[in-house]
Amino acid sequence: MKCGHKEGVNTYGRHLYTFLAALSLLVPVLRAALGQNSPAPQPEAAQLMELANRARAQAGAQPLHWDSALAEAARKHTLRMAAEGPIAHRYPGELDVSERAGHAGAHFDLLEENVAIAATPEAIHDGWMRSKEHRDNLLNPQVNRVGIAVLSSRGVLYATADYSRGVEPLSQEQVEARIGGLIQTAGVKIRPDRSLARAACAMTGGFPRSADSAGPGLVIRWQDSNLSQLPKGLVDNLASGTYHEAAVGSCEPKGVEGTFTMYRIGVLLY
């Protein structure tokens, strides 16, 4: 039996169930400890990651990197699966996959999950590769991190693999410094006072009130998980030569479901 599931920001994939066997098992014995602080996977999990990366290489996708927080989320869910018997992505009273991963400490803007029950890691991998949805999750070129947990009971294995596109965790000040650095490369000076920009960031429109009569000429707001580049509208305005100073503020993102990581920024141009 195997099951695949995909989640992204405001996007939830369907569940797919393919029955390979009908088994009812007792609570499992954990074969090897997996925790958030563990730097390496257990042997069966490592084998599944190796098989996945071989398949990804053949498909032209970059390799997956181990994420111990995802592995901890996968471990807890695998324990629950084995205790329940029939596998699923969520049981009554259980958090959904994005909440499990977020509470375990993972940072991501795209999340997918495969679960399975089979006799060996090879059989688990083969089952995932034979199912389009599971194969799509495993080979998705947009994901770059994985956490896998495998539990043994009565000669079979329960497995959970959580795949994500990782997001660098940044504080409010780090976000502002990152964006400020990109703006400075355009020759625009960054104002040290961030309070007005933070207020503008939290707004959905309009200009924040300012004691300074010479308020900003333009306010640009956006949110993204990738802070490696500025939005085109801001780039074009910086290149126009109209503005010579900027203030940068970060605030809580809006409209983000679950525990997906997203950053919201407001930039005032003077």
Residue 75 has pLDDT above 70, yes or no: yes
Instruction: Please report the DSSP string for 200-252 in residue order.
Output: HHH-SSS----SSSS--SEEEEEEES--SS--HHHHHHHHTT---EEEEEEE-
* Number of neighbours of residue 20 by Cβ within 10 angstroms: 13
What per-residue string of b and e applies to 97-111 under the rule 16 or more CB within 10 Å gives b?
bbebbbebebbbbbb
Q: Residue 85's pLDDT is what?
A: 84
Q: Residue 213's pLDDT is what?
A: 63
Beta bridge partners of 86: none
Confidence of residue 198 (pLDDT cuts 50, 70, 90): very high
Model confidence pLDDT, tens digit, residues 16-58:
222 222 222 222 222 333 333 445 678 999 999 999 999 999 9
Of residues 38 and 82, more confidence is placed in: 82
Query: What's the chain's Rg over C-alpha atoms?
Result: 23
What per-residue string of b and e applies to 211-240 under the rule 16 or more CB within 10 Å gives b?
eeeeebeebbbebbbebeebeeebeebbee
Confidence of residue 77 (pLDDT cuts 50, 70, 90): very high
183: helix, coil or strand? helix
Q: Residue 206's pLDDT is what?
A: 87
Q: Residue 239's pLDDT is what?
A: 96
Confidence of residue 11 (pLDDT cuts 50, 70, 90): very low
| pLDDT > 70 fraction of the chain, expressed in percent and rounded | 84
Q: Which of 91, 116, 86 is nearest to 22 (CA)?
A: 86
Burial of 149 from C-beta contacts in 10 A (0-12 / 13-18 / 19+) = buried
Model confidence pLDDT, tens digit, residues 123-158:
999 999 999 999 999 999 999 999 999 999 878 999
Residue 15 has pLDDT above 80, yes or no: no
Q: Residue 4's pLDDT is what?
A: 57
Q: Residue 57's pLDDT is what?
A: 98
Q: Residue 195's pLDDT is what?
A: 94
Q: Which of 227, 224, 253, 258 is nearest to 111 (CA)?
A: 258
